[in-house]
Amino acid sequence: MSFTTADLQAIDAAIASGELTVSHNGRTVTYRSMDDLMKARATIVAELAGAQSGRTGGPHRFTFSTAREC
């Protein structure tokens, strides 16, 4: 899912008001705790930062192998 700065603003407004329910563009999400809300914010910030730097997707896995002759 792609997040926007408006999503981040909605999360920030909920954090500032102490609310656990966030509504934006006809969607409503109720978080279980402020910790979950903060984790959602961190996810949005990370995705927005990745989009600005041109990165897409999440972490990458690299596999290295070597051939040894005996």
Structure tokens at 20: 């656990």
Query: In this predicted model, what pLDDT tens digit does every residue of 30-41 receive, in sequence order?
Result: 999 999 999 999
Statement: residue 11 has pLDDT above 90: yes
How far CA 42 is from CA of 51, 65, 69, in Å, comes to 14, 35, 48
Q: What is the pTM of this model?
A: 0.67
- Give the pLDDT of residue 62: 67
Tokens standing for 65? 């192998």
